Amino acid sequence: EDKVVQSPLSLVVHEGDTVTLNCSYEVTNFRSLLWYKQEKKAPTFLFMLTSSGIEKKSGRLSSILDKKELFSILNITATQTGDSAVYLCAARNSGGSNYKLTFGKGTLLTVNP
Amino acid sequence: SAVISQKPSRDICQRGTSLTIQCQVDSQVTMMFWYRQQPGQSLTLIATANQGSEATYESGFVIDKFPISRPNLTFSTLTVSNMSPEDSSIYLCSVLQGSGANVLTFGAGSRLTVL
């Protein structure tokens, strides 16, 4: 059974801190890993990673994938209160014409002023 | 990028009743996906809905409990039938976008509470 595990489950930091969120996966015929930010109900897309060792960056957020060790990390530098959210990691398998993501439970990040 | 509208945004329902959630996309899409997120849990795929064919359900989800309609390329509905408190969840409609249609984009979600 495909599985995605995120850690920590929750994290409380102060503004300006740097955080690292972890995601490990066991997925049959792995194809890509995606990160989402969920503030209220709808997750919003952050990154999609398909190749090992290539960092993706968007402002203060960055992410990298290790396909040998089956994990990914999401880094947020100089955190702001607006970064408070649940961060979801999801792994996609190569299911032919089907598209299926297996999600982790998420990391709840709270950034205090 | 496509705009995905869901309604209702939230509802409080009585045990034993059924509720239909609507999902409207502002562009034509081949596949639409329905996810559920129970409190404290990860998003779980309920089914994939293709226009003109029966929805494909994931293990643990059945058509009698979660009937889906997909009458055209921009619209789908999910019904949660004979609800129990365990059905209290956020239900999310989603479509594929991005280069190569590789990224799942979600609607705003429907938060259902069953009493």
Task: Render pLDDT for B9-64 as a digit per residue (tens, 0 to 9).
Answer: 999 999 999 999 999 999 999 889 999 999 888 899 999 998 878 899 999 999 99
A chain contacts of residue B109, beta-carbon cutoff 8 Å: 40-42
Check the CA dihedral A39-A41-A45-A47 and report its sign. positive
How much is the pLDDT for B53? 81
Give the pLDDT confidence score for residue B99 in this predicted structure. Answer: 67
pLDDT value, residue A38 = 94
- Best of B43, B50, B90, B110 to mutate (most A CBs within 10 Å, chain A): B43
By the CB < 8 Å criterion, does B103 face chain A? yes
A82 CB neighbour count, 10 Å cutoff: 9
10-residue stretch averages of pLDDT, chain A, 113 residues long = 94 97 94 93 92 93 95 97 97 76 95 96
Question: What b/e sequence results for B59-86 when a residue is b if at least 16 CB atoms lie within 10 Å of its CB, and e otherwise?
Answer: eebeeebbbbebeebbbbbbebbebeee
Q: Do A42 and B42 touch (CB under 8 A)?
A: no
How large a percentage of chain B has pLDDT more than 70? Answer: 99
Whole-number mean pLDDT of chain B?
92
B31:A99 CB<8 A: yes
